[in-house]
Amino acid sequence: MYKWLLAWRYLRTRYLALASIISVMLGVATLIVVNSVMAGFASKLRDRLRGLLSDIIIEHRSDNGFFGVEDKVRQVYEILGDRVAAVSPAIETFGILQFSYPHSREVITRPVIVIGVEPGSRARVGQFCQYLYTAENREHPEACFEVRGEIARRFRRAMEQWRWMQELRRPPPVPSRPVPMAPTFHDAVPPPFQADPESQAVLPPNPTPPELPAELREPSGIILGYSIATYRRPNAHVSDADKDIFLLRPGDRVTLMLLTAFDLPGHDGSQGIPRPMEETFAITDLFRSEMSEYDARLVFIHLKDMQRLRGMANRAKSLYIKLRDYSQDATEAIRLLSSSDAFPPQSFVVQTWEERQGSLLAAISIERGILNVLLFLIIAVAGFGILAIFYTIVVEKTRDIGILKALGASHGGILGLYLGYGLFLGLVGAGLGTALGIAITVYINEIEQAIARWTGQEVFNRSVYYFDQIPTDLQGSMVVLVNAGAVLIAVLASVFPALRAAMLHPARAVRWE
Amino acid sequence: MLIRKQGKEGELLLEAREVHKAYRKGKHEIQVLRGVNLQVAFGEFVAIVGASGSGKSTLLHVLGTLDVPDSGEVWLAGRRVDRLAAWEKDRLRNREMGFVFQFYHLLPELTLLENVLMPAMIRTSALGWLWQCWRARKQAWQWLQRLHLTARARSLPKELSGGEMQRAAIARALINGPRLLLADEPTGNLDPEAAREIAELLHDLNRRDGLTIIMVTHNWELAQQAERVLRLAEGKLTNAASQDNTPLVLMSGENRK
C-alpha cells in the first residue's frame, strides 16, 4: 500500500521527474504521428496502386500482345472458375502527345504512357472510373470515351476555327499574271485569335471552308491525366478553389502519336517494323488519381482505338483480373494461371498487383521499419534520462529509504516503490504523449498550414508528394504497441536505480545526511 | 489502552551478548563495539550515554536489527534475532520495535497522519489495507489525540515545529504496538521546552503504559528520566558515572522526577 501512496506522492511532488515525463511524452507523440502519417501514405498509396491495376495482372512479354482476346478471357474464367469477379483486357504502350493550349500558338509535345482500355469491364476490375474527373462518367464509365453533347460542340467549334486558321495560313495561289506591288500575302493576315469560341462573329464568312476529314468530324475520345491538362497556380493555398488552372478542357483537341505493333509484315504496306501512326482525339474527361507521377503521365483511350491505330485487331497486351476474395485466393489463382497451358510462362507474366509494385511497396515498408527503430531509440534515450533522474532521486531519498527500512519495509517493497514510480512516470508520459500524438495526427493538415503561414515555407510540398492532404491512418494497435513500449522502457530504466535503493544498507541510509 | 502488555515486569526482553562491531574507513578499521553486554527487562527504561562518536547509535542499530554485529548475539524475547533472514528482520522491526530518531525522519511528502500510518501500511498489503485502513486510522487518531496532534494531522512535516515532529515520530513508532521503543537522541534537535515535553512523554509512556524503552543520548538531564543509565565508552557498556565522571549508583525512583 505505502508503495503506491509514496510513488503517487513522488510523482506529484518531484518536479525533476517532469523532465522524464516530458521526454517520454515527446517520444510517444512523435512515434504516433510519424507512424500515422506513414501508414496513411502507405495505405493511400497501396489503395491507389491497386486501384490503378487490379488484383492479378497477366501481361504478355511482347509489346505486340497476344491474339484472341475473347478466348483468353474465357480461358481465365475456365481456369479460375468462381474466384473471378471480372476480367478486363488492356494495351499499354508509349506515345507522344501533342497539343497547344488555348491563347497560345505554341505546340507542346509530351511523352506519355497510353493505355487502351475497355471502360465497362475496366471499371469492374479496379477503381479506374472513380478517378475520373466528371461525375457523370464516374457513374457511367462505359460511355466515358464518347464524344457527345457539349464536348462534341466545343470540339466542333474548335475544329472550325482551326480549319479557318489553316485555310488562312495557306500561301496564296501564285497569280498567273504578276500583280505589281500588291502584297497579297499581307492582306491575308489571319483575324486576331479569339479564345472564346462563343464569339463566332470574328470568323470570316467567306470563302467556304474545305470539308473536314472524317476523323476530325467524328473524333475518338481520350482521357488525359489531370496534371497534363492543368497546372497548379504558384503560391496557391490548398483550400483555394481555383488553385489549379485548366489549360485543356473536355472538348479540346489533342494529337496522339503511337507506334504500330511490329509483327505485321505486309499490313498496310509495312515492312514488319513499327511505323508511327497519328490521330486527333477529343478530350472527354480527365483522370485524377492524386498520384502526381501517374496524373502527369497516363493517357487513356478506348481499346478499340488502340487496336485500330496499332494494327492489333483482336489483340491485347494484358488481362486485368479482379478476384472475389483477394486475400484468400490470390496465391492459388497465381498458381493455377501460371501452370496452365493458356498462359505459358515464356510468353506471359502472371503477377499480383503487390508483386508488380513490389519494389515501391518494399521501399515503403523498409522506410517505415527503419524510422520506427530510430524513433524507438529516441524513447530509449528518454529511458536513459529516466535512469539518470531516478538515480539522482534515489540518492536524494537515501535517508527516506533508510527510514522506510527501519519501519519494516522489505527489499521487495522498496524495489516495488521505485519500479512503481517508474511505471507511473511511464504511464503518465505515455498517456500525455498519446493525447498529443492523436491531436497532432487529427489536425496535421491544419498544423501544416499554420506552419506554412508563419514561416512562409511549405512543409508538405504538393508538387512533390502524391496527395493534396497529408494522409493519416491512426491505427489502434500501433498506439497500444507504442504505449506498451514506452511504459516498458520507463520501467526498465527504473530497474537499476530501484535495485540500488533496495540494496541500501539500512543503518547507513538512516545516518545519511 | 494503546500499548499491549506483552510480558511480565522483570522478565528479560532484550539481551546483547558480547557484541562486536567494527567500521572500515578507508584502510583503517575502527572498533566501535568491543564486547557489549546488555540485559533489558520488560517495562524497563534504559538510557545509554556516551560521547559523540562513541558508538551509541551503532549499538542502537545493532539492537534494532538495522545493523549486523560482527560477532556476538542479540536476543529478543527469547529468540536470537541478529542472524535472522532479511524478511524476518523487516517483520520484527515493523511489529516488535519502534524507532525514534534525532532528526525526526518523517517522510516529507506525506502528511503527519500518513506518516503515523506508514508502519501500519507497510504491515499490510495493498488489498489488506482496504480492510485494515479503518482500524489503523482509528488507532492513529487515538495516538494523535493523546499527543495533542489532531489539529496538525493534515499538515506536511515542513509545516510542523520540532516538538510536533518528534511527537509524530513517536506516534509512528508506536502505531503497530511494539514491545520495544528505540530512541536515538530524541531531544537532540529540540529547544529546551520541547525537549522537556518529549522527556515527560517518554517517562509517561514507560511508567503508565509499561513500554520498554532504550534511549541513546548525550544529554545527561534526559538520561535522568531513565531507571537505569549506562555509559558506552571505549566500546563497552558500564554503569554510568555522573556528569563529572564519578561513578553513579543508580537507585530506582530517586532520580526520577
Q: Suggest the residue from B63, B122, B135 to mutate for an interface test with chain A (most A CBs closer than 10 A).
A: B122
Tell me, what's the pLDDT at B174?
A: 85
Q: What integer best gives the mean pLDDT of chain A?
A: 81
SS3 A112: strand
A280 and A320 inside one domain: yes
Range(s) of the domain holding residue A14:
2-47+360-511
pLDDT band at B256 (very low <50, low <70, confident <90, very high): very low
Place of cell 497539343: A99
As a whole number of angstroms, the distance between CA A28 and CA A468 comes to 27
Q: Kindly give, in sequence order, each residue whose CB lies less than 8 Å from that of residue A470, ignoring residues fewer than 6 positions away.
A: A37, A40, A444, A445, A448, A460
Place of cell 533472514: B85
Tell me, what's the pLDDT at A434?
A: 94
Is the Cβ pair B105, A399 closer than 8 Å?
yes
Domain count, chain A: 3
pLDDT band at B191 (very low <50, low <70, confident <90, very high): confident
The answer to whether A282 and A84 are in contact (CB under 8 A) is: no
Tell me, what's the pLDDT at B253?
A: 37
Tell me, what's the pLDDT at B1?
A: 42
Q: Is residue A179 part of a domain?
A: no
The answer to whether residue B244 scores a pLDDT higher than 70 is no
Is the Cβ pair A1, B129 closer than 8 Å?
yes
Is the Cβ pair B67, A5 closer than 8 Å?
no
- Of A335, A356, A377, the domain-final residue: A356
A479 and A462 inside one domain: yes
DSSP state of A204: -
The mean per-residue pLDDT over the stretch A296-303 comes to: 91
The answer to whether residue A470 scores a pLDDT higher than 90 is no
Per-domain residue ranges of chain B: 1-96+178-193+206-245, 101-174
Which residues of A fall within a CB distance of 8 Å from B101?
Answer: 403, 510
The answer to whether A418 and A494 are in contact (CB under 8 A) is: yes
Tell me, what's the pLDDT at A433?
A: 93
pLDDT tens readout for residues A373-395: 888 788 788 888 888 888 888 88
- Of A325, A356, A387, the domain-final residue: A356
Is the Cβ pair A1, B58 closer than 8 Å?
no
A305 and A427 inside one domain: no
The answer to whether B20 and B35 are in contact (CB under 8 A) is: yes
Q: Is residue A256 part of a domain?
A: yes
Smallest CA–CA separation between A422 and chain B, in Å? 17
Tell me, what's the pLDDT at A267?
A: 55
Place of cell 489503523: B136
Which residues of A fall within a CB distance of 8 Å from B119?
Answer: 407-408
Tell me, what's the pLDDT at B255?
A: 39
Q: Are strands A56-60 and A318-323 parallel, antiparallel or unpaired?
A: antiparallel
The mean per-residue pLDDT over the stretch A442-469 comes to: 77
The answer to whether residue A417 scores a pLDDT higher than 60 is yes
The architecture that CATH gives domain B1-96+178-193+206-245 is 3-Layer(aba) Sandwich (3.40)
A129 and A199 inside one domain: no
Q: Is B66 exposed, middle or buried (0-12, 13-18, 19+ CB in 10 A)?
A: buried
- Of A324, A356, A388, the domain-final residue: A356
What's the distance, Cα to Cα, between the start and end of chain A in Å?
27
As a whole number of angstroms, the distance between CA B82 and CA A172 comes to 126
Which residues of A fall within a CB distance of 8 Å from B64?
Answer: 406
Place of cell 457539349: A150
Kindly state the percentage of chain A with pLDDT values over 70: 84
A264 and A323 inside one domain: yes
The answer to whether residue A191 scores a pLDDT higher than 80 is no
For chain A, the residues whose C-beta falls within 8 A of a C-beta of chain B are 1-6, 9-10, 13, 399-400, 402-411, 413, 505-507, 510-511
A135 and A210 inside one domain: no
Residue type, B211: L
pLDDT tens readout for residues A254-289: 899 998 886 555 555 556 677 888 888 989 988 888
Q: Is A346 exposed, middle or buried (0-12, 13-18, 19+ CB in 10 A)?
A: exposed
ipTM over 0.90: no
Q: Is residue A457 part of a domain?
A: yes
pLDDT tens readout for residues B203-234: 888 888 888 888 888 877 788 878 888 888 88
Q: Output A189-197 pairs: Cβ under 8 A, ≥24 positions apart.
A: A190/A164, A190/A165, A193/A103, A193/A105, A193/A165, A194/A161, A195/A102, A195/A103, A197/A154, A197/A157, A197/A158, A197/A161
pLDDT band at A195 (very low <50, low <70, confident <90, very high): low
The answer to whether B156 and B136 are in contact (CB under 8 A) is: no
Nearest CB among B61, B86, B105 relative to A403 is that of B105
The answer to whether residue A400 scores a pLDDT higher than 90 is no
A226 and A207 inside one domain: no
pLDDT band at A212 (very low <50, low <70, confident <90, very high): low
